[in-house]
Amino acid sequence: MVGRNCRFLQRWETSKGAIAEIRAAVGEGQECDVEILNDRKDGSAFWNQLHLSPVRDETGQLLYIFATQRDVTESRKIRSLEAAEHRLLREVDHRAMNALAIVEGIVRLTRADNPSQYAAAIQIRVQPLARAHALLGPEGWRDLQVDVLLRALVEMQGGRRITLQRPPIEVGAALVQPLAIVLHEMIANGAQHGALSAPNGEVRLGWSQGGGGGLVLT
């Protein structure tokens, strides 16, 4: 190492911006503090906190640049984990608030003649919300195929005389739970007031992609 420029420690994926910052500081004789990805002797990567400090004589003439370096790999890992944890908590908070907003709407809009009927009506409406949540969990809260959601809701209703048309269309994860409530209400209304209330009645449920990426239910 003696006599060699320390740039030989750089890796191919070392940030070009960090290298440019170091080069500019050296060229201008300015102080610099930067974290840069370097190689260890065994070839493994480590994060190097490099601090450059110019040393000048009494007249202000630059004599040399004093450099120190410190392995900050572990502290960067900790900062990265803390940032990931913060993002996760924000996402959990966001999803919880969405679910609570839906439940609030259910509570506000449900009507019944007595407390027991009211409690049963709330429970019936919260169940599809929970089912949608269960579908999203294993998928990592990603977009969900519409037919997967519909099949789950139809099964909850006993699968009675409901025919599904199934083009492969996905709906955004944020819309799955509200859509589950809407579809549950449609199926429940059909069973109580519509075609499914008749002995030989049936419902054909289809969907297609609408303009602007919307979902059209038929």
Question: What's this model's pTM, rounded to 2 decimal places?
Answer: 0.54
Tell me the residue length of the chain.
218
> pLDDT digit string (tens) for 79-92?
888 888 888 788 77
- Which domains can be identified in the chain, with CATH numbers? 6-71 (3.30.450.20), 77-217 (no CATH)
> pLDDT digit string (tens) for 163-212?
777 778 888 888 888 888 888 888 888 888 888 888 888 888 888 887 77
For 178, counting Cβ atoms within 10 Å of its Cβ (0-12 exposed, 13-18 middle, 19+ buried), the class is: middle
Q: Does the structure show a pLDDT above 80 at 143?
A: yes
> pLDDT digit string (tens) for 27-71?
998 999 999 988 888 888 899 999 999 999 999 899 998 989 899
User: Among 74, 217, 76, which residue's Cα sits nearest to residue 150?
Assistant: 217
